[in-house]
Amino acid sequence: MVSRGMCLNCNMAGHFARDCPYRQPSFSQQPNGFRSPSFLPLPPPSIHSTPGSSQAPLLALPPPSPPSVSQSSNGNSNQAIVPTHPLWKLNQDKLDRVYEFMASELEARQEAIREKEKLLKEEEERTKVKEAEEKALRKLKERQDFQERISNTVGSKINDACELFLGKSDTALAAGERRGSREQARTRTDNDAEERLQKQIEQLRMDNEAIRKHMEELARAIKLSTAGAKRPSGGVCIASPPEAPPRGRPRVMGVGTPTSQDFQKLLKAYNQVKEGKRTADLEVQALKERFERAIDKLVRQEQTPHSNFSRRMNDATDDDELEQQDRQDEALDNLILRPSPPKRTSGRLAMKAAMAERADFLKETRKHLKRLKKQGLQLLCNREGITFVTCDQAINDIAEHWASLAFGPL
């Protein structure tokens, strides 16, 4: 039995069967169809050998002897020995070629990448050089302009000094002042003319917009009028043969198209409704203002007992036309709201009527107080000695206080 890691041919360690030096590249063909090895097989180990000698490596094996003449004569003498290469070497060669191809492709790709990076760097360097040149030219131009301005300024100052020294500066100054005044007047005139032109352009633009809107309205009105004046196509051409109406039923007539007169009537009715709504809004606003003035005047008074509530409201509004009605309302209030002793009624009915009157008074008072704002409620609370927390609480407390004054405590 061959141990692990040993050669299958020579039973030696350190190499495999494909690398065995005793392996023959070919086998001779026997007449019976079997190939015999070209070297003699190794002799089997001796039975009488010692255990130490059986475990030692076979390093003293003789080299394979060449085939004898008798053995070669038994075989086919015409067949030549063809050396064969191991399959692993062929695979290794293929792998080497594939690796070389991939390495060359990778090298070419890396070379292309390096060339591209080199071109980009050169382009960036050229761009930087160009920008630096432009910056230098710009600085040079600015410096030249600055030198020219300085030279012009210095030259003008020197000329002015020379003219002043020679006595010619007065005339030059006067001429310069006249020239400056003329330029200012011309500039002011140009500005005024420009402003007038701008105003005229704005006015023309507004007029154009108004004319355009007016033309659109006229076109819309003409379109509506022409649409109303045209006869319906159903009365001119027959799209389908007429059908006889069923017997015993009235024939249904079509609804006509509204004309421009109908639109005018509708527009007139709409304007009337709009005017009526505006008048109603004005009346409501006037009534609100009147009621607010009345409430403010009531707030300025010390107390407002229920018996003269209507009279004080009318006095606050300063309306003389309703004086007669105020007296009737006051008398009615005195008759209705002022509790009167029951006549021939039981105590339960009298108490019930008083509670109903008190509830009506509280309801009416709360309704009037809810129209006041927070400031008016605070003034009433301060006058009546009530602590103001919220609007609802103040309304309830003031109503209860006035009810206790008018009807007495419960």
The pLDDT assigned to 284 comes to: 79
- Highest-scoring range by mean pLDDT, 35-39, 165-169, 334-338: 165-169
Segment 45-50 long-range contacts (CB within 8 Å, at least 24 positions apart): none
> Please, are residues 409 and 401 in contact by the beta-carbon 8 Å criterion?
no
The pLDDT assigned to 188 comes to: 85
Distance between CA atoms of residues 100 and 269, nearest Å: 100
Task: Please enumerate in sequence order all residues whose Cβ is within 8 A of that of 323, keeping only pairs 6 or more positions apart, or say none.
Answer: 314
- Average pLDDT over the chain, rounded to an integer: 71
Phi first, then psi: what are they for 246, rounded to 5°? -65, 150
Closest CA relative to residue 287, chosen from 319, 323, 333, 327: 319
The pLDDT assigned to 130 comes to: 92
The pLDDT assigned to 328 comes to: 46
Residue 249 pLDDT exceeds 70: no
- Highest-scoring range by mean pLDDT, 101-115, 243-257, 290-304, 333-347: 101-115
Residue 282 pLDDT exceeds 70: yes
Q: What is the mean pLDDT of residues 104-108?
A: 92
The larger pLDDT score, comparing residue 40 to residue 180, is at 180
The pLDDT assigned to 238 comes to: 53
The larger pLDDT score, comparing residue 118 to residue 170, is at 118
Place of tokens 């409704």: 273
Joined together, the tokens standing for residue 310 give 């209507």
> Please, are residues 27 and 84 in contact by the beta-carbon 8 Å criterion?
no
The pLDDT assigned to 410 comes to: 66
Confidence of residue 158 (pLDDT cuts 50, 70, 90): confident
The pLDDT assigned to 247 comes to: 61
Q: What is the mean pLDDT of residues 15-39?
A: 59
Distance between CA atoms of residues 258 and 286, nearest Å: 41
Least confident span in 127-141, 149-163, 186-200, 234-248 = 234-248
- Highest-scoring range by mean pLDDT, 142-146, 291-295, 321-325: 142-146
Residue 78 pLDDT exceeds 60: no
Place of tokens 């402003």: 195
Least confident span in 3-7, 157-161, 265-269, 396-400 = 3-7
Least confident span in 155-159, 220-224, 233-237 = 233-237
> Please, are residues 383 and 394 in contact by the beta-carbon 8 Å criterion?
no
> Please, are residues 369 and 381 in contact by the beta-carbon 8 Å criterion?
no
Q: What is the mean pLDDT of residues 231-260?
A: 56
The pLDDT assigned to 276 comes to: 81
Task: Please enumerate in sequence order all residues whose Cβ is within 8 A of that of 79, keeping only pairs 6 or more positions apart, or say none.
Answer: 28, 29
Joined together, the tokens standing for residue 260 give 């421009």
Q: What is the mean pLDDT of residues 233-259?
A: 56
Distance between CA atoms of residues 361 and 379, nearest Å: 21
Place of tokens 């405590």: 409
The pLDDT assigned to 372 comes to: 82
The pLDDT assigned to 106 comes to: 92
Tally Cβ neighbours within 10 Å of residue 28: 18
Q: What is the mean pLDDT of residues 303-312?
A: 49
Q: What is the mean pLDDT of residues 224-236?
A: 58
Q: What is the mean pLDDT of residues 283-309?
A: 66
Place of tokens 């004898």: 68
The pLDDT assigned to 387 comes to: 87
Closest CA relative to residue 89, chosen from 159, 4, 150, 16: 16
Task: Give the max Cα distance, the chain.
Answer: 170
Distance between CA atoms of residues 300 and 353, nearest Å: 33
The pLDDT assigned to 108 comes to: 92
